[in-house]
């Protein structure tokens, strides 16, 4: 399991973040984000990717 404080610290941009999530999935590593709108834990790989995409979209919109 990979535990991170904030999701925006994991990737440089959305594509990089998606690539990291796919790499983690291929190695059967779960991802847990401790802070944010809500804590995110990823027991299923597809949930991880979907949660990260929506969260990164929300972060990019709120940063604008």
Write the pLDDT tens digit of every residue in 25-35.
Answer: 888 888 888 87
pTM here is: 0.52
> What is residue 1's three-state secondary structure?
coil
Q: Cα torsion at 2, 40, 60, 23 (round to 10°)?
A: 40
pLDDT top residue among 44 and 22: 22
What does the domain layout of the chain look like in residue ranges? 2-63
The confidence band for 46, taking pLDDT boundaries of 50, 70 and 90, is: low
pLDDT of residue 9: 76
Q: Among the residues of the chain, which ranges form H helices?
A: 14-26, 45-63
């Amino acid at each position: 399991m990979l535990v991170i404080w904030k999701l925006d610290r994991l990737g440089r941009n959305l594509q990089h973040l998606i690539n990291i999530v796919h790499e983690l999935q291929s190695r059967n590593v779960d991802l847990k984000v401790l802070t944010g709108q809500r804590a995110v834990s990823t027991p299923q790989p597809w949930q991880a990717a979907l949660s990260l995409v929506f969260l990164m979209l929300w972060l990019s919109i709120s940063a604008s």
